[in-house]
Structure 1
Amino acid sequence: MTSETVRPDLREGPKRETVRRALARTDGFVSAQQLHLEINAGGDSIGLATVYRHLGALAEQGDADTISVASGQLFRTCTRPGAHHHHLICDSCGTAADIAPADEEWIRTAAREHGFTVTHHRIEVFGRCRECLDSE
């Protein structure tokens, strides 16, 4: 795809920068809906579909982390762009920590034993952070 054929909704621009800045101000993972509310409450006017589109593009570029939870997709600014990593996430407040990748050989061995070839993997570990445990 040449620069002339890049979809307009995937180009860098003021809306993308608004989403990027708002995401950088959050703690932990947030939903697109939460981010949309925060952006509009702050005085910027942006549609929910636009927030979703730009969050997806940021995740695709490696500038945002995304995780799947029962309620949908959550996002945060990636603290280790380009580096393969996994997350430890608090069930209560959403705070997240980057953790070292699992043993890659174990993953590949398990896949081979079941007749799979690994194309990619994602590991999220959920629990409670120290602050949430202390406040219970």
Structure 2
Amino acid sequence: MKEHGEPVFPCEIKKTKQREEIFKILSEETMPISAVDIYHRLMQTNEKANYAISTVYRALGAFEEKGYVTKSTLITGDMAYYEWNYGAHRHYAICLQCHKLIPLKQCPFEHAKIETGSDNFTITGHKLELYGYCKECK
């Protein structure tokens, strides 16, 4: 379920067939997805395609550089996950056994006024991951 409507391919990024297909996968996903999973989806949808995993990483890098994609590396693994940036951020509870990502309904810091105790630091963002066990793994 998307909260912000259907995204449109960003005009400031060079449009290629591969980037369009990667964009389509990202924009249809409701949860973060790894580059490897994107690559496998590309190969499933077009078996004749000759994609390299490096193409997926380069496209994700271009989207991330312009702020269209959010990249997260979870403490439970080495793999990075990507999701389309709809302008709002999400936090996740992560199962330590099956690695399922469960989105939190709201940001715990949404209405918090956080003081750094110093004028030498301006907060521009944050990241929060909660770890535990999902209902199935408990």
- TM-score, normalised on structure 1? 0.65
In the alignment, the residues of structure 1 paired with residue 83 and residue 102 of structure 2 have an alpha-carbon distance, to the nearest angstrom, of 10
Cα RMSD for the two superposed structures: 3.0
Contact 1:39 1:45 in 2 (8 A): no
Going from structure 1 to structure 2, the CA distance change for 1:100 and 1:94 (only over 3 Å counts) comes to closer
- Structure number with higher helix proportion: 1
Alignment equivalent of 1:120, drawn from 117, 124, 131? 124
Please report how far the alpha carbon of residue 128 of structure 1 lies from its aligned counterpart in structure 2 after TM superposition: 5.6
1:72 paired to 2:75:
no
List runs of 5+ in structure 2 lacking aligned partners: 1-11
- The secondary structure found in structure 1 opposite 2:101 is coil
List runs of 5+ in structure 1 lacking aligned partners: 1-5
Please report how far the alpha carbon of residue 127 of structure 1 lies from its aligned counterpart in structure 2 after TM superposition: 3.7
Aligned residues: 119
Contact 1:59 1:65 in 2 (8 A): yes
Please report how far the alpha carbon of residue 87 of structure 1 lies from its aligned counterpart in structure 2 after TM superposition: 1.3
Please report how far the alpha carbon of residue 125 of structure 1 lies from its aligned counterpart in structure 2 after TM superposition: 2.1
Contact 1:87 1:96 in 2 (8 A): yes
Q: Match of 2:68?
A: 63
Per-residue Cα deviation, 1:102-132 (whole angstroms, up to 9, x for no partner): 25631xx2x344x741353321222468xx4
- The secondary structure found in structure 2 opposite 1:76 is strand
1:15 paired to 2:18:
yes
Contact 2:92 2:101 in 1 (8 A): no
Contact 2:90 2:103 in 1 (8 A): no
Q: Match of 1:93?
A: 100
Contact 1:62 1:82 in 2 (8 A): no
Point out the more displaced range, 89-98 or 29-38. 89-98
Going from structure 1 to structure 2, the CA distance change for 1:56 and 1:89 (only over 3 Å counts) comes to farther
Going from structure 1 to structure 2, the CA distance change for 1:30 and 1:19 (only over 3 Å counts) comes to same
Q: Match of 2:53?
A: 48
- The secondary structure found in structure 2 opposite 1:90 is strand
